[in-house]
Amino acid sequence: MMKTEIIYLLLLIFILPCTTNGQYAVIRGTITNEKSGISLENVNILETLSGIGTISNSTGEFRLMLDPGDAELLFTFDGYKNVTRQIKLGSDTTINIQLEPQLNLKIRQKVNVQSGLAQKTNKK
């Protein structure tokens, strides 16, 4: 009986590393400004289903290790519209994301107020 337990234990020790190998898929890519093509640094990347996230580096590149299957990536950066991508992960994947600049509503109102004041002072 002791021999069978030792054999099962040895089989478990040798088989376990084989089953855990390759359980992650790597998503990598580059994030750029849609209009200028300039790489964007410190963009937040969040996989919303697992809560795992990262940020882009100084050249706009990112790398994220996730379990294979469905993934929903959310890209956020101040001054840009948020982007969401649905991805089916089976193996390593490369995606390139372009973020569209967004003029903040408060900035827009401030510009309108300033231009209105400028027009009033020109009339006097």
What are the structural domain ranges in the chain?
A: 24-119
Tell me the fold of 24-119. Immunoglobulin-like (2.60.40)
Residues 28-55 pLDDT 10s: 999 999 999 999 999 999 999 999 999 9
Give the separation between CA 107 and CA 104, rounded to whole angstroms. Answer: 5
Tell me 60's DSSP state.
S
| pLDDT of 63 higher than 80 | yes
